[in-house]
A and B are shown apart, each in its own frame.
Chain A
Amino acid sequence: MTDTGVQLSALTRSFTSRAGTVQAVSDVDLQTPKGSFLSLLGPSGCGKSTILRILAGLDTPTSGEATVHGLSPAELRKEKSLGVAFQDHALLPWRSVEKNVRFPFEVAGVPVDKAWVSELLGLVGLESFADAKPWQLSGGMRQRVSIARALALRPSVLFLDEPFGALDDMTRQRLNLELQRLWMEQEATTVMVTHGIQEAVFLSDYVAVMSPRPGTIKEVIEIDLPRPRTIDLMSTPEFHHYVDRATQLLFH
């Protein structure tokens, strides 16, 4: 099973509150190959973030199982080769850009690969901002730092939770191009949570379209478009075909 990427088996997560029990994720099955880019697409409350949090070991399922490369989230963590990025960039305001990118090394207890950190800053175009503090950067630059940080441990697995969700469309499109380039260099099995249809189709090999209450996967669309994908690709009928298919699933 070494060629398995993400594997979800009968994954269920329910929350109990005063208002009753909510099935955030209900009996979800999913499998992707190693090194593929998977997007979880759906409206808010469909459980996409919950699945990502379970995979990253930040939440535990009520029942069922979630593995990446055949490893449980806890085992995956011990490998020290994963990366995460959130919509809330979660940069530490007291650390410089460079020290923020070093942060995963410190937490994971791995010696800092200084050459790689400065190379990463170059890859996201921030080498001249290494000593800047997060508040001195624009929103787009902060998300680039967040992406650089996600790649710090040369991850074989990458978890992205709406990494560019807070940005304007143009910045977002540009960063998506950069993300594709970086991802192709890293060959990491990637799971991204998004509610952007075009973004999901543009970046992914597989788009899992989800629906809420209870959170389930309606269909997994395989996106068979050549890489590297360009802006021009977005005006082709093939691209539109996938976007239309996902839109239909989301609204029916």
Chain B
Amino acid sequence: MQTRRSALAPALLGLGGLLVILVVWQLVAVFAFTRPNGSYGAVPPPLAAFERVAADLVDPAYWAGIGATAGAALTGYLIAIAVALALGVLVLLLPRLEAFATQLGVVAACVPVAAISPIVVLLSPPGSRAVSVVLALLAVEFPMIIGVLLGLRATTPGQLDLVHAYGGGTLTAIRKVRIIAAIPALLSALKIGAPAAFLGAMTGEFFAVGVDSGAGRLLISQQYAGDFVGMWAIAILATAVSALGYGVIALAARWLAPWTAHSSTGGLR
């Protein structure tokens, strides 16, 4: 038997893990990446990076850039949801299509960004964020489709029997049970999709032509300028934004579907 630890211990260890990483980061930065003249190399110390994050946070230009990326991410995210829901309706009507829907999702997840991006850029006008939207869409589509399909399967046979035994038809079953039972799996997919969409939109900016703002653009321009502290600050900000997206949906899920943790439904894989 394992001795029972206080609830505090895991939190402390988690904090310890963060500390270990910060210390290693600091040591690597100071001993491996500091130039003889004392300026920082490709890995600046954490404090310098976080100071820059604080400075970036009060700079409206950074907010505009991250906002633009997030906007493209949101557009792709919403289209992916619409596509997944449409496929869900198809599968509901024709269950045979389930394998086909899954494979569309697999293809979307497999398509390499460097292959699809040049084409999107080729076919969209200069300055368009279409490539960010497409990459966000592709990054989100697979988890969304899986979420919808899991949601359709979340209803137990007993729950359907119950509806039918009392004379409820297919529509009643969908309205009263199936849609609500699908919510946890859907929310779980939305949660996973949020950071993935931001990832896609940010990566898209590496390929976009005539787009000057955005988190990805900032990262590239700072790389050209050799502003390593700035790059790390953007990386930290982008991490925070996508973690925020995840967290907001996780909170919303707790409020919208409080039964999730207690039923066998929900979750991917």
Contacts and interface: CB of A to CB of B under 8 A. Distances in A.
- Classify A-B as touching or not with yes or no (CB < 8 A): yes
Contacts of A103: 162, 166, 176
B167 A84 contact: no
**Which residue of A88, A107, A109, A133 has the most chain B CB atoms within 10 A of its CB atom?**
A107
Interface stretch (A90-98, A178-186, A237-245): A90-98
A107 B167 contact: yes
Nearest to B261: A135
B263 interface: yes
B259 A86 contact: no
A93 B157 CA distance: 14
A88 B156 CA distance: 9
B185 to A, nearest CB: 13
Contacts of B168: 107-108
A92 B164 contact: no
B172 interface: yes
A108 B166 contact: yes
A90 B161 contact: yes
B167 A86 contact: no
B161 A80 contact: no
B243 interface: no
A84 B176 contact: no
B257 A86 contact: no
Contacts of B159: 90, 92
Contact of A58 (B164, B176, B262): B164
B111 interface: no
B262 A93 contact: yes
Contacts of A33: none
A227 B189 CA distance: 55
B177 A92 contact: yes
A140 interface: no
A174 B159 CA distance: 26
A92 B180 contact: yes
A205 B42 CA distance: 84
Interface in A84-117: 84, 86, 88-90, 92-94, 103-104, 106-109
A78 B157 CA distance: 22
A103 B172 CA distance: 11
Nearest to A89: B158
B165 interface: yes
B163 interface: yes
A158 to B, nearest CB: 11
Contact of A84 (B157, B162, B180, B183): B162
A38 interface: no
Interface in A65-93: 77-78, 80, 82, 84, 86, 88-90, 92-93
B164 A86 contact: no
Contacts of A159: 165
| Interface hub of A78, A80, A86, A153 (most chain B Cβ within 10 A) | A86
A90 B259 contact: no
Contacts of A84: 161-162, 165-166
Contact of A82 (B158, B165, B180, B262): B165
A88 B165 contact: no
A86 B156 CA distance: 12
Contact of B162 (A78, A80, A90): A90
Given A56-B165, A84-B162, A135 B262 contact: yes
Interface string A140-170: 0000000000000100000100000000000
B162 A135 contact: no
A64 interface: no
B153 to A, nearest CB: 15
Contacts of B161: 53, 56, 58, 84, 86, 90
9 contacts: A58-B165, A84-B166, A90-B156, A90-B159, A90-B161, A93-B259, A107-B168, A133-B262, A159-B165
Which 5 A/B pairs are nearest by Cβ-Cβ distance?
A90-B158, A135-B262, A93-B259, A88-B158, A107-B168
Given A90-B161, A92-B159, 14 more contacts: A56-B161, A78-B167, A84-B161, A84-B162, A86-B158, A86-B161, A88-B156, A92-B181, A94-B180, A94-B257, A103-B162, A107-B172, A133-B259, A135-B262
